[in-house]
Amino acid sequence: MPSLDAARRRLRLSDNHISVLGFLVEEDRIPDELSQERAELGEAGLVDAGDKIAADLYPLVSTLMAPRVIARVELTGPQGVTSNGAVLGDEFIFVHEAWPGSRESEYVPAEPETLVWSLARMVDLHRDLTDEVDSGEVIQSTMGLFDQVIERMEAGKSEEPEVVAEMTGAPSRLAEVLAHLNCMWRMTVVWKGPGEKSGPDGLSVKVLSVWDCGLEGYWLRELPTEPVRDGQVDASSDLRVRRTSAKELWRLMTDLLPDEV
């Protein structure tokens, strides 16, 4: 159920609740498939009987309707995929985080100075003993072999990394690193304006793809080159990952954001 914490300006909303709010702002008819979410917003006191949105929602709704910068953090872990991120408007910034298995995400206002910290928290970026290890080690393979290693490990068999590497033909080091995989995350920042990857639609995009491998540390995926388009990668595509540190990832996350943030 959607809910509001007025004291801390926090909101819990699902993607469907956001869609309903968008229809209401545009004064469009709400599709039948969203009738339950419309009713839930009414029960929570966030929308009245006349389809008027509660004043507490206006900062978030106005930001979502006219974003200047959108940051999306897709995290894949043992409990599935969660979508988190941040939305920057002309007046407000909101960060949102999902909970595995829950429809709703928590939306919280943020300040520009805390944005990178918020994004880092979404991926549990932390310093530990692995930061003492020299970074720069590189593993090269293919996406097909990567998929085979992951499939064997997800099958629940108690196989040593050496066995997995032998059975798949993957580099032994790749199997060793993936044996400690906690999660994979991909951070994408999109904005309208000049940038390194500006497209014909006028949108610029920067992406960071990382493996969090516990005792084996952080690994930055350098190939396939981001941003990856649908259908661009197949089993024969080159895979290259480089060991990195939390310190470098903090810098790279900061560099994802446009200068005006």
pLDDT of the chain along its 261 residues, tens only? 999 999 999 999 999 999 999 999 999 999 999 999 999 999 999 999 999 999 999 999 999 999 999 999 999 999 999 999 999 999 999 999 999 999 999 999 999 999 999 999 999 999 866 555 667 899 999 999 999 999 998 887 778 999 999 999 999 999 999 999 999 999 999 998 766 555 557 789 999 999 999 999 999 999 999 999 888 999 999 999 999 999 999 999 999 999 876
- Predicted local confidence at residue 198, as pLDDT: 56
- Predicted local confidence at residue 202, as pLDDT: 78
- Tally the C-alpha atoms within 13 A of residue 251's C-alpha that lie toward its C-beta: 5
Query: The pTM is what?
Result: 0.92
For residues 47 and 35, the answer to whether their CB atoms sit within 8 Å is: no
CA distance 255 to 260: 12
For residues 105 and 73, the answer to whether their CB atoms sit within 8 Å is: no
The token duo for 69 is: 């910068």
The token duo for 218 is: 């952080």
